[in-house]
Chains A and B, each alone.
Chain A
Amino acid sequence: MDPAIEVKDLSVVFSSGNKEFTALDGLNLSIPCGQVFGFLGPNGAGKTTTMHVLLGFISATRGEARIFGTDVRESIARRRIGYLSEHPDTYRFLTGRELLTMAGRLFLIGRRQLASRIDEILPLVGIGEAANRKIATYSRGMMQRICLAQALINDPDLVILDEPTGGLDPIGRMDIRKIIADLKARGKTVFFSSHELSEVELVCDHLAILSKGRLVAQGPASKIIPPGESLEKYFMKVVNNP
């Protein structure tokens, strides 16, 4: 079985005029199906850049990336992905239900199946009653929830979440944890980045820590964190002394 995500020697160099900036430097990752994988690192470490390569938004300068064995540059690779972006925003002129209908159609889901999927997903993200209201009237937390709903509309096998709990209140964070636990129970792979280390500790099986575009730690959460040490303390140690 192909891994959910496979990244080999991935490098991304941004150039502006004569200046070059290495956002990712020889990243290697192999994430089997069914894992909840926490992708950590300080700001500017290359987490979002990695996600953007996986989603085909940007091309790698060197190396390769595959999703379920398909090259990420092919649009077909995104059929089994759900993605929640770092700054979730969407078409505010649509209602929540219309947004999900639009997202479902882009995955070519049939009308009946889509309607039942929407009915299933709206209560899951806690948008049930507001589904027929325009998104322009939603709070920031509700915006985050409806964007998460559109990421899950195709019942994806791989969910990529970039800072999914940012901007959410404690209840919202708990809901996200429940959704991630539910996805894991259903054998889905979750790849997510977060600065909330306590959240990561609670939900992740495996961790990878990135610093200045390089992988500085990787492995099962229970093994890489030394006994008696918190993830936060370990994170600070490896990021400051890679």
Chain B
Amino acid sequence: MTRILTIASTVWMEIIRKKDVYVLLILLGTLLMALVSLNVFGLGGTVKYVKDLGLLMALIFSWILGVNISSRELPSEEAQGTVFPLLAKPITRAELICGKWLGTWSIASAATLLFYILITGVVQFKGGTFNLAALLQAFILHSLTLGIICIIAIAFSTRMNQDASAAMAYVVTGTAFFVVPRIPELMAQATGFSANVLFLLYNLLPHFEVFDMRKRLVHDFGPASWKMVLIVACYGVLISLVFFLAAWLAYRNKRFSRGNLM
């Protein structure tokens, strides 16, 4: 575990020292501006809109952050040649993947926590409140979604360069976000080959919709049962483990390029 934590802490230092934290500040600023500017359209009094927009933007920003930082970690180790002295130490490739995932997931989750704090502040400023238990559940499930997103991006990056792995991660997670919840409707009209493709997609891709508690928060439905949250969390862990396995299988015997390192 010490080795995994060491790798994860190095990821944290990289993000902070390479000024990636500025991207986060820009995202936070954008979020704040968007929420405050709702007044411009005469919707400022409607807390629901603030909540809805704020939570949607938190989801999108954390998604972007998760994919971007996760897809670059392993390719940059290889491109700079730092993977050689790293793997010359008694660390397994599985530990390296776990460390990279832990680092990127914890950063994306910490950023999400900042987004939630900001949204809560703006909502309170506008006279509204969040049910705290529901907000906590939403954050836990959001964080689990990020865990899946980060390991998907890392899994692609084991065999692709940074740009390609980020693109693939966006396609897969984007499909999971926006297409998978609509598949049952589409399947009702599809036949033959297209029905089979839809069926395959529905069963292969993660179901991010089960982690999404935004409607519950926006409409003040209160918290879900903790038993349900636990079941969904187990599903998230299971999906993450599947992608961990895929990442490890792709990376365990990978032969690294040693040209053009200088």
Contact = CB atoms under 8 A, between A and B. Distances in A.
A79, A82, A103, A106: residue with the most chain B Cβ atoms closer than 10 Å: A106
Contact of A105 (B3, B13, B81, B92): B3
A34 interface: no
A78 B91 CA distance: 8
Interface in B1-30: 2-3, 6, 9-10, 13-14, 17-18
Contacts of B9: 102
Interface residues of B, number: 27
Contacts of B13: 93-94, 98
B258 A86 contact: yes
A218 interface: no
Contacts of A192: none
A interface: dominant SS = mixed
A87 B6 contact: no
A102 B3 CA distance: 9
Interface in A55-95: 55-59, 75-76, 78-79, 81-91, 93-94
Contacts of A57: 84, 87-88, 255-256
Interface string A119-138: 00000000000000010000
B227 interface: no
Contacts of A55: 84, 87-88
A85 B87 contact: no
B262 interface: yes
A106 B82 contact: no
A75, A94, A98: residue with the most chain B Cβ atoms closer than 10 Å: A75
Contact of A81 (B17, B88, B253): B88
B90 A78 contact: yes
B85 to A, nearest CB: 6
Interface in A145-162: 147, 150-151, 154, 160
A92 to B, nearest CB: 8
B261 interface: yes
Nearest to B84: A85
Contacts, number: 83
B82 A89 contact: yes
A107 interface: yes
A102 B10 contact: yes
Nearest to B3: A106
A236 interface: no
Given A90-B82, A150-B85, A151-B85, A106 B258 contact: no
B80 interface: yes
A150 B81 CA distance: 15
B90 A147 contact: no
A108 interface: yes
A93 B19 CA distance: 10
A48 interface: yes
Contacts of A83: 84-85, 88
Contact of A106 (B18, B89, B253, B262): B89
Interface in B212-262: 253, 255-256, 258, 261-262
Nearest to B262: A87
Nearest to B93: A75
Nearest to A58: B255
A105 B2 contact: yes
A103 B82 contact: no
A108 B5 CA distance: 11
B4 to A, nearest CB: 10
Contacts of B80: 89
Interface of A: 14, 48, 52, 55-59, 75-76, 78-79, 81-91, 93-94, 98, 102-103, 105-108, 134, 147, 150-151, 154, 160
Interface of B: 2-3, 6, 9-10, 13-14, 17-18, 80-82, 84-92, 253, 255-256, 258, 261-262
Q: Which 5 A-B residue pairings sit nearest by Cβ, starting from the closest?
A: A83-B88, A93-B17, A87-B261, A105-B6, A106-B89
16 contacts: A14-B255, A55-B84, A57-B88, A78-B90, A83-B84, A85-B84, A85-B88, A87-B261, A89-B82, A89-B262, A90-B82, A94-B10, A103-B89, A105-B3, A106-B6, A160-B88
